[in-house]
């Protein structure tokens, strides 16, 4: 029933460091949010990434969208069956997210998910802040997130209930175990990576531009603006994304890419790859701060391999 990634919310003490990255490297648009929040627009939607001021870096919420209002009831039914904490957001919460309605649940790894219908959008309202062709969103949503979990099998069973279908796996024995899921034609909107035991976290958000040169100029500008590069330019094996990764001021990474393939769920056959990149994606300085925006878990999971970039 979930059909796309709608938005992402982060709490961070580093809100002041965000505008330079957003405006001068990504070319995305800044709008003022309430209570000092930094809101970032990638298209005509009111906003898609929000950084709330706070004492520590935290993944506050991951916002998804359904196509039909009634699908929100189905989300709640699934949550009740799974026995996870869930509820309906009131009008005030919906208004604060610029959506018509929303429901929410907390997954077994402590991530709060908000499933929404009716995201506010004003045609022609997006203004890029550097010369780029714009971002690939629409039916494909904001992009994708990769979450690190201590038990990827449990993650697979959990998220499969919400409309995510496996696109493929990347398994590098002893080093990396990741799975990629589609809920629209974007190759993946959600990816799960085996992470360290006792923690879970947001490894990266992928945002996609419409032209290869936008990635090239972004790569150059990231270095000019001293943004720590996590993975150099490269091409992914599974979704064909031409991209680079960098660290954000709030501990997680962003993949800035172009050219991801689209999948047709009717005929798609999931595959397995034994490497993440056909070329490039060489680790850089941005890897030093860790695998992402991690939070501790009450119970430790299964033994884990190294954290991933996917």
Contacting residues toward Fe ion, per CB under 5 A: 206, 255
Shortest Å, Cβ 219 to Fe ion: 16
Nearer to Fe ion, 52 or 179 (CB): 179
Nearer to Fe ion, 30 or 172 (CB): 172
For 152, list phi and psi in degrees, rounded to 5.
-70, -30
The dihedral formed by the CA atoms of 105, 110, 111 and 112, expressed in degrees to the nearest 10: 30
Shortest Å, Cβ 248 to Fe ion: 14
Shortest Å, Cβ 145 to Fe ion: 9
Asked whether 132 and 49 are in contact (CB, 8 A), the reply is: no
Start-to-end CA span in the chain (Å):
24
- For residues 157-186, one letter each, b for 16 or more C-beta atoms within 10 angstroms of the residue's C-beta and e for the rest, the string is ebbeebbbebbbbbbeeeebbbbbbbbbeb
Tokens (6 digits) for 212: 């290869």
Nearer to Fe ion, 21 or 202 (CB): 202
Shortest Å, Cβ 253 to Fe ion: 9
**At 145, is the secondary structure helix, strand, or coil?**
strand
Shortest Å, Cβ 265 to Fe ion: 20
- For residues 273-294, one letter each, b for 16 or more C-beta atoms within 10 angstroms of the residue's C-beta and e for the rest, the string is beebbeeebeebebbeebbbbb
Nearer to Fe ion, 96 or 305 (CB): 305
Nearer to Fe ion, 94 or 233 (CB): 233
């Amino acid at each position: 029933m979930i059909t796309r990634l709608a938005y992402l919310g982060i709490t961070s003490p580093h809100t002041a460091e965000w505008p330079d990255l957003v405006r001068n490297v990504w070319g995305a648009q800044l709008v003022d949010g309430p209570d000092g929040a930094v809101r970032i627009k990638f298209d005509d939607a009111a906003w898609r990434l929000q950084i709330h001021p706070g004492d520590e870096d935290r993944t506050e919420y991951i916002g998804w969208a359904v196509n039909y209002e009634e699908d929100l009831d189905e989300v709640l039914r699934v949550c009740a069956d799974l026995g996870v904490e869930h509820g309906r957001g009131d009008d005030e919460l919906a208004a604060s997210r610029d959506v018509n309605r929303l429901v929410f649940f907390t997954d077994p790894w402590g991530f709060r998910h908000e499933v929404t219908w009716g995201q506010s959008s004003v045609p022609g309202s997006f203004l890029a802040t550097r010369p780029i062709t714009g971002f690939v969103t629409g039916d494909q949503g904001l992009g994708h997130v990769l979450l690190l979990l201590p038990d990827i099998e449990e993650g697979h069973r959990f998220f499969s209930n919400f409309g995510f279908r496996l696109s493929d796996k990347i398994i590098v024995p002893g080093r990396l175990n990741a799975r990629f899921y589609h809920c629209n034609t974007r190759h993946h909107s959600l990816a799960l990576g085996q992470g360290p035991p006792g923690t879970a976290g947001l490894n990266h958000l992928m945002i996609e531009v419409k032209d290869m040169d936008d990635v090239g100029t972004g790569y150059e500008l990231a270095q000019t603006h001293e943004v720590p590069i996590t993975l150099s330019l490269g091409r992914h094996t599974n979704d064909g994304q031409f991209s680079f990764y960098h660290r954000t001021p709030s501990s997680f990474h962003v993949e800035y890419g172009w050219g991801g393939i689209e999948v047709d769920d009717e005929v798609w056959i999931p595959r397995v790859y034994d490497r993440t990149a056909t070329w490039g994606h060489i680790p850089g300085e941005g890897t030093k701060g860790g695998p992402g925006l991690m939070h501790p878990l009450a119970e430790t999971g299964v033994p884990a391999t190294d954290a991933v970039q996917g």
